Chain A
Amino acid sequence: MCYLFIIQNRGIIKKGSVYTFLYKQVRIFVAMKTETTQLHKTNGMKDGLSPIENAVLNDYKYGFVTDIESDSAPKGLSEDIVRFISAKKNEPEWMLEWRLKAYRHWLKMEEPQWANIKYPAIDYQDIIYYSAPKQKINPESLDQIDPELRRTFEKLGISLDEQKRLTGVAVDAVVDSVSIGTSFKKQLSELGIIFCSMSEAIQEHPELIKKHLSSVVPITDNYFAALNAAVFSDGSFCYIPRGVRCPMELSTYFRINAENTGQFERTLIVAEEGSYVSYLEGCTAPMRDENQLHAAVVELIAFDNAEIKYSTVQNWYPGDKQGNGGIYNFVTKRGICQGINSKISWTQVETGSAITWKYPSVILKGDNSIGEFYSVAVTNNHQQADTGTKMQHIGKNTKSRIVSKGISAGVSNNSYRGLVHVNKKAVNARNFSQCDSLLLGDKCGAHTFPYIEVRNNTAVVEHEATTSKIGEDQIFYCNQRGIDTETAVALIVNGFAKEVMNQLPMEFAVEAQKLLAISLEGSVG
């Protein structure tokens, strides 16, 4: 495909920063143009199919496999595997105990059945729980990184060196569970910011890990969180010291690579008093036949006057048009506004995965704290998403805002499930929730399950939801002005999701918009 070809050859272009920047913009434009043209062709050929079905026929554009020698554990899960993972990572005794405790608790738990998703039973003994790309020495610079691996990132459009110079983003790249390259580390460490892989943090900052790990998501929290605690292979740790404003966006690239490997990430971000950090997480994964399990845990802690902004773009392999394969994404994300005036903001753009089970939540413990949740979830073909948020109002004058935009196409199902809980002591709590659904096609479903629990009479809670489709009059209006139907749909969908897209940091906004266009081009309501 033309699109991939261009990206692969990007390295040839002279790396003058202005040129590269301009080139990046041109590339996106050309790529989108090419896709549109291709779509026109396919539309012509496949008579009798509705434009929506044509949209469904769009191929997954990031599907490729990188051949890296994996260093895997045998299939299955047992105490021995937990010990193997722990030993493999040279973990101290307390960490092994912590994992075993989680594993033993997990054995007693049952897989949750309440979500509005259907999938064949997962055989937890048929999964490889650990696989690390072979990497003998810790690289000092990016040049030492396996060239094969670097090409993978270039295909994904985030070559480390380019980003390092061009966008000022420090990237902690995670391929198959082990961190392989960390840039900007020195600049960050001068400010006292710790940004490293979780395994490194366990070795070098055990006191911080002991104090904060599983303080927001206890190992007994839920089935998938317990599983994650038992077998998590790596993840990112970020610590912002008192009063420091992190000068750049921090980002991690997650990527599932070796076949049959579950990805179990664990991320912990601690923002001390008066600090600020914006963290980006983006995901793409290669094509797979078998379902892959992903059970990540993300914990955020914000102390007095601190602010954490966490953004996600998730574009994992959603399975083929018949609903075979695809990633099972069971994620527990939770933040706590521990101190006064603290703020946690979640932004997510979910376009991938066969199954998404994800509820980024905020515990508003500190007085005057603020929690935000902005989400765009797109489901197509046989994808199923059950996603939303939880806002727990505990402190006084706490505020939360929820904006969720669900877009369903094909035969997919998209559910919003949210909880707003106002505690008895949460005086003057304020919540506003809005969840809108857009249906493209008559075989898909949109569902909303909002739970609102108010225990305090000074609280003001508002919730509103609408469901609609793209009107023929809207399309006609665009056509009339010379905008073709595909572009019109992209325009309307982008407008529908704009409130959320605006929350994304600049670095992500372009990629996210592109993802939306790829997922839904050709759809007409």
Chain B
Amino acid sequence: MNNIIENYKEHFDRLQSSPTSNAMSVLAAVRQNAFNAFSKMGIPTARHEEWKYTRIGSLFNAELQFPANLLPSIEAELEAIRLPGYEQANELVFVNGYFNSSLSRIRSAELITLTMEEAAAGEYKDFVLRYLGDSSRYLKDGINALNTAFTQGGVFLHVKKGQAIEHPVYIYNITDARTAAILAQPRSLVHIGENAQVQLVETYSTIGIADSFTNQVMEVVMEKDSLVEYYKIQNDASHASLVSTTHFLQTGKSYLHTVTISLNGAIVRNNLNVILEAEHCEAHLYGLYFQGGKSHIDNHTIVDNVKPNCFSNELYKGILNNEASGVFNGKIFVRPQAQKTNAYQSNKNVLLSDAASVNTKPQLEIFADDVKCSHGCTVGQLDEEALFYLRSRGISEKIARFLMIRAFAADILEHIKPAPIHAYVEQLISERLEFHIL
């Protein structure tokens, strides 16, 4: 452990002393604080309550390289992983954690895209200073601090007041592990102005066969009357590990809709924070995880009701096959002044094999009395009676199971609103089902 910190300290000192770094004291100060926090907390072990079921220490046993901001030739690979509908979409490409403007295509003029360095030095300085690293208020562990400590080459997005971005924004996080095991740390800060609208779609891809680790943090600040749809699609290689943190701060009455789809990866951990800091905010959180092999999927969500009259609804569904393990940890906080809160949470899991396992922890912490909160979770198998019903009508057992799991997943899939993405995910699920069931 100490070795890791010492090793990272060298990299950190080099980053802080680089000529471009000193010019932007804002970022340097943020990084310094974060590195101090990282040195103190280190890599979380199973003794850390939030990492009880997800052992991440082994990832750091491999000699993970801090990549330099080079431009590997990955045009061909990018072509292969482009999401359908990209012809009309805005595309942002991260390679090894660095925002790559030459591969990115910004079609909507209303979408302001700057590197984090530019934003921190220019007119957005105050905003960056205030909100960069806001997620650390909720995620007190070394992994979050590690990303902030090495904030460089990130991106700052701004949707101006009153603008609705017509085309969705596709964000590709590409990790190039063809030559060595890479620690990629993409970072982004998004500012959704008053009465603005945007659809964000994120995917993760690892090229090459070395064991890689992507530690991503995205922080989104939503102003009054804004609307955000956020889709996260994870179908990376079986040797690629990922910690993906997405932090939404709703500072004004606003609407958030998120869907997280996790289909593959070695260790995948999603932190989704929704902070309802204004009255009458609304948030919908949906998630589906369908894992096989030996993969491990962990979804941690936090919904923090700070102000009264907010509504949140959360539904996560999981299907686990082979030796896959799943974790769900959903927290709902209701602060003392957050009266009239309505918060619902549900987690449903199906285990398809003997060796699959699931740990779920739906958690409520309520300090106000005039609230309606409920949570529920189930773990089980496919309903025998429903299977029998289908089979008695001449449908083979395999097809019956196929149909039932598809129906189980459909509850989540129907919340994916952009048509090409919906079709794409449906296709992925069908392929998975054919592989696992038929």
Q: Which of B356, B359, B376, B379 contacts A451 (CB 8 A)?
A: B359
User: Within 8 Å CB of B380, what residues of A?
Assistant: 459-462
Chain A residues with Cβ below 8 Å from B379 are 422, 452, 454, 459-461
A444 within 8 A of B: yes
Q: Are the C-beta atoms of A445 and B365 separated by less than 8 Å?
A: yes
Is there a chain A Cβ closer than 8 Å to B33's Cβ?
A: no
B336, B353, B358: the one within 8 Å of A442 (CB): B336
What is the CB-to-nearest-CB distance from A96 to chain B, in angstroms, rounded to a whole number? 35
Q: Is B336 touching A449 in the complex (CB atoms < 8 A)?
A: no
Contact B365 A454 (CB under 8 A): no
Judged by a CB distance under 8 angstroms, whether B369 is at the interface is yes
Cβ contacts B316-360/A at 8 Å (1 or 0 each): 000000000000000000001001000000000101111011111
A452 touches B364 (CB 8 A): no
The answer to whether the Cβ of B49 comes within 8 Å of any Cβ in the partner chain is yes
Contact across chains for A463 and B378 when beta carbons are under 8 A apart: yes
B363 and A467: CB pair below 8 A? no
Cβ of A223 to closest chain B Cβ, rounded Å:
16
A457 within 8 A of partner (CB)? yes
Inter-chain contact B364/A453, CB cutoff 8 Å: no
Q: In the complex, A446→B363 CA distance in Å?
A: 11
| B381 lies within 8 A of chain A by Cβ | yes
Contact with A along B370-393 (1 / 0, CB 8 A): 111111111111000000000000
Q: Are B373 and A466 in contact, CB atoms less than 8 angstroms apart? A: yes
**B368 proximal to A (CB < 8 A):** yes
Give the nearest-CB partner of A422 in chain B: B379
Question: How far, in Å, is A109 (CB) from chain B's closest CB?
Answer: 15
| Contact, CB under 8 Å: A439 / B377 | no
* A469 contacts B359, C-beta separation under 8 Å: no
Pick from B49, B363, B366: contact of A450, CB below 8 A.
B363
Instruction: Tell me, yes or no, whether A308 is within 8 Å of chain B by CB.
Output: no
**Inter-chain contact A442/B370, CB cutoff 8 Å:** yes
Residues of chain B with a CB closer than 8 A to A114's CB:
49
Q: Are A442 and B361 in contact, CB atoms less than 8 angstroms apart?
A: no
Q: Does B44 contact A (CB under 8 A)?
A: no
B362 at the interface (CB under 8 A from A): yes
With A452-B359, A457-B352 in contact, do A467 and B366 touch (Cβ < 8 Å)? Answer: yes
Across the interface, do A469 and B351 meet the contact criterion of CB distance under 8 Å?
no
> Known contacts being A463-B362, A467-B374, is A440 close to B369, with CB within 8 Å?
yes
A181 within 8 A of B: no
Could you say which residues of chain A place their CB within 8 Å of the CB of B353? 457
Chain A residues closer than 8 Å to B368, beta-carbon distance: 439, 442
- Which of B49, B362, B366 is in CB contact (< 8 Å) with A445? B366
Cβ contact within 8 Å between A443 and B362: no
- Tell me whether A452 and B369 are in contact in the complex, defined as CB-CB below 8 angstroms, given that A447-B364, A457-B351 are known contacts: no
Query: Among the listed A422, A456, A457, A465, which residue makes an inter-chain contact with B362, where contact means beta carbons less than 8 Å apart?
Result: A465
Report whether B357 and A454 are in contact in the complex, using a CB–CB cutoff of 8 Å.
yes
Q: How far is it, in angstroms, between the C-alpha of A456 and the C-alpha of B353 when the chains are bound?
A: 8
Closest to B357 in A: A455
Q: A445 CA to B373 CA in the complex, in Å?
A: 13
Tell me the bound Cα distance from A437 to B380 in angstroms: 26
Encoded as 1 (CB less than 8 Å from any B CB) or 0, chain A from 422 to 451 comes to 101000000000000101111111111111
B369 & A460 in contact (Cβ 8 Å cutoff): no
* Chain A CB within 8 A of B424 CB: no
Question: Which listed residue (B366, B369, B372, B381) contacts A441, Cβ 8 A?
Answer: B369
For A467, list chain B residues within 8 Å (CB): 364, 366, 371-374
Residues of B with C-beta under 8 A to A460: 378-381
Q: Does B86 contact A (CB under 8 A)?
A: no
Q: Are the C-beta atoms of A454 and B359 separated by less than 8 Å?
A: yes
Rounded to whole angstroms, the CA-CA distance of A424 and B377 in the bound complex is 20
A93 in the interface (beta carbon within 8 A): no
B356 CB, nearest partner CB in chain A, Å: 6
Interface status of A525 (Cβ within 8 A of chain B): yes
A458 to B377, CA, bound (A): 16
- Confirm or deny: B367 has a beta carbon within 8 angstroms of a beta carbon on chain A: yes
Indicate if the CB atoms of A463 and B366 lie closer than 8 Å.
no
A464 touches B (CB below 8 Å)? yes
Q: In whole Å, how far is B297's beta carbon from the nearest beta carbon of chain A?
A: 14
A462-B373 in contact (CB<8A)? no
Q: A84 CA to B374 CA in the complex, in Å?
A: 52
A324 contacts B by Cβ under 8 Å: no
Provide the bound-state CA to CA distance between A422 and B368, in Å: 34
**Chain B residues with CB below 8 A from A462, complex form:** 376-378, 380
The answer for the CA separation of A456 and B351 in the assembled complex, in Å, is: 8
Whether a CB of chain B sits under 8 angstroms from the CB of A25 is no
Cβ-based interface call for A90 (8 A): no
A460-B379, A465-B375 as given contacts; A454 in contact with B363, CB under 8 Å? no
A447 to B358, CA, bound (A): 22
Q: Which chain B residues border A525 with CB–CB below 8 Å?
A: 369
Q: Please determine whether B369 and A448 come into contact, CB atoms closer than 8 angstroms.
A: no
**CB proximity of A472 to chain B, nearest CB, Å:** 10
* A187 proximal to B (CB < 8 A): no
Verify B359–A453 contact, CB threshold 8 A.
yes
Residues of B within 8 Å of A453, CB to CB, are 357-359
Identify the closest chain A residue to B373 (Cβ).
Answer: A467
Asked, given contacts A453-B359, A454-B357, A457-B352, whether A439 binds B366 with beta carbons under 8 Å apart, the answer is yes
- A460–B49 CA distance with the chains assembled, in angstroms: 25
Given the known A-B contacts A442-B339, A452-B359, A464-B376, are A458 and B381 also in contact in the complex, defined by CB atoms under 8 Å? yes
CB closest chain-B residue, reference A116: B365
Contact in complex: B371, A465 (CB < 8 Å): no
Distance (whole angstroms) from the CB of A459 to the closest CB of chain B? 6
Q: Is the CB of A464 within 8 A of B357?
A: no
A474 at the interface (CB under 8 A from B): no
Chain A residue numbers with a CB within 8 Å of B378 are 460-463
A439 to B367, CA, bound (A): 9
CB-defined contacts of A445 to chain B, threshold 8 Å: 365-367
- Chain B residues whose C-beta falls within 8 Å of the C-beta of A458 in the assembled complex: 381
A463: chain B residues within 8 A (beta carbon): 360, 362, 375-378
CB-nearest residue of chain B relative to A415? B365
Q: How far is the CB of A460 from chain B (nearest CB, A)?
A: 4
Residues of A within 8 A of B351 (CB): 454, 456-457, 459
A135 adjacent to chain B (CB < 8 Å): no
In whole Å, how far is A378's beta carbon from the nearest beta carbon of chain B? 15
**A34 at interface, CB cutoff 8 A:** no
Query: Looking across the interface, which residue of chain A has its beta carbon closest to that of B320?
Result: A457
A468 at interface by CB-CB < 8 Å: yes
Which of A424, A442, A465 is close to B364, meaning CB atoms less than 8 Å apart?
A: A465
Point out which of A442, A447, A452 has the most chain B C-beta atoms below 10 A from its C-beta: A452
A residues in contact with B352, CB < 8 Å? 457
CB-based contact B364/A448 at 8 Å: yes
B224 to chain A, nearest CB (A): 27
- In the bound complex, what is the Cα–Cα distance between A464 and B375 (angstroms)? 6
A436 to chain B, nearest CB (A): 9
Are B372 and A450 touching (Cβ within 8 A)? no
CA gap between A445 and B358 in the complex, in Å: 29
Residues 141 to 173 of chain B near chain A (Cβ within 8 Å): none
**Given A462-B377, A467-B371, 10 new contacts (CB under 8 A):** A114-B49, A452-B377, A454-B359, A455-B357, A457-B353, A459-B380, A466-B374, A467-B366, A468-B371, A469-B371
Residue pairs across A and B with Cβ atoms less than 8 A apart, 8 shown, are A439-B368, A442-B336, A448-B362, A448-B375, A462-B376, A463-B378, A464-B377, A465-B376
Q: Which 9 A-B pairs have the closest CB atoms?
A: A457-B351, A439-B369, A464-B376, A461-B379, A467-B373, A460-B380, A466-B374, A454-B379, A445-B367
